[in-house]
Amino acid sequence: MTVRTFAPAKINLTLHVTGQRDDGYHLLDSLVVFADIGDHLEFAAGPGMSIDVTGEHAEGVPADDRNLIWQAAQAVGWTGSVRLNKVLPHGAGIGGGSSDAAATLRVLSEQGVDIPDELPLLLGADVPVCVAAKAARMQGIGERITPVRVPSLPAVLINPGVPVPTGSVFAALASRANPAMPVDMPEFETPQDCAMWLGDLRNDLETPAIGVAPEIARVLDALGATTNALLARMSGSGSSCFALYPTMKAAHFAAYEIGAAHPHWWCRAVALN
């Protein structure tokens, strides 16, 4: 029997770096949402483990034990074949690999496989928030997940195809002890309300990432110049960026504008929740 699931893109609307532990792990405070675009996975139990990667961004995705899907399955003793349709750019700051691993854990849990509580975090800092795949505040090293409510946010996602090593971005970070997000989050009625509140917050990795990959600044400028853009910001450690809009019509129009001007960029209009 084949089981299918969806691994949505993870977007950091904010990403505050608030400290660093003695073991080197960074402390984060981030508002995370998920897009209605993502990777598609199919699972079929069997005697051996294999991953078949297809899709727009299949090139460069490992199909062995370097893949987080493989590591998640191996950690709980599951074997079988996995078909991964790679829609999302990988290494792009939108949680593609982490979301794939989280989707694997969800599917196996639904099939009755016991998932140790500590396993998601062992696979990666973004995996715990991706398991629920719903809007949440992520704190600590990724282990503290608090569900939040946000309205559906029309957005455009762009990845310019420029690799940004996460280690290089953190190494270039000027301060590792920055203010956290406000303790209490308001309830937003509209995308405009949400964007206005987000405007006073940050992605602390944006400036160092631009230093590593200046193309990110060009993406942000292009997004900010689109009609009706409410906010433009980088997600995660880059190089993907997003802009928020008041309506999906405005988001689709902006995606058309940017796609025509920069056909080599990966550009999609999405809804974030």
Rounded-to-10 torsion of CA 252, 253, 258, 259? 60
Specify whether 143 is located in the same domain as 157. no
Domain stops at, among 105, 120, 147: 147
What one-letter code names the amino acid at 169? Answer: V
Task: Give the model's pLDDT for residue 91.
Answer: 82
CATH number at residue 220: 3.30.70.890
Task: Give the model's pLDDT for residue 90.
Answer: 85
pTM of the model: 0.96
Domain stops at, among 131, 147, 163: 147
Under 8 Å between Cβ of 117 and 131? no
Specify whether 116 is located in the same domain as 197. no
Q: Which domain holds residue 170?
A: 153-272
- Into how many domains does the chain fold? 2
The packing angle between helices 248-261 and 215-224, to 10°, is 130
pLDDT in tens, the chain (273 residues): 899 999 999 999 999 999 999 999 999 999 999 999 999 999 999 999 999 999 999 999 999 999 999 999 999 999 999 999 999 998 899 999 999 999 999 999 999 999 999 999 999 999 999 999 999 999 999 999 999 999 999 999 999 999 899 999 999 999 999 999 999 999 999 999 999 999 999 999 999 999 999 999 999 999 999 999 999 999 999 999 999 999 999 999 999 999 999 999 999 999 999
Least Cα distance to 173 among 5, 52, 48, 19 occurs for 19
Active-site residues: which are they? 10, 126
Cα angle, residue 36 at apex, residues 226 and 213 outer, rounded to 5°: 50
Question: What DSSP assignment string belongs to 186-252?
Answer: PPPSSHHHHHHHHTT--BTTHHHHHHH-THHHHHHHHHHTSTT--EEEE-TTSS-EEEE-SSHHHHH
Task: Give the model's pLDDT for residue 163.
Answer: 87
Task: Give the model's pLDDT for residue 244.
Answer: 98
Specify whether 38 is located in the same domain as 170. no
The answer for residues whose C-beta is within 8 angstroms of residue 50's C-beta and 6 or more apart is: 63, 80, 81, 82
Task: Give the model's pLDDT for residue 50.
Answer: 98
The end-to-end CA distance of the chain, in Å, is 31
Cα angle, residue 248 at apex, residues 58 and 56 outer, rounded to 5°: 10
Specify whether 189 is located in the same domain as 266. yes
Specify whether 132 is located in the same domain as 177. no
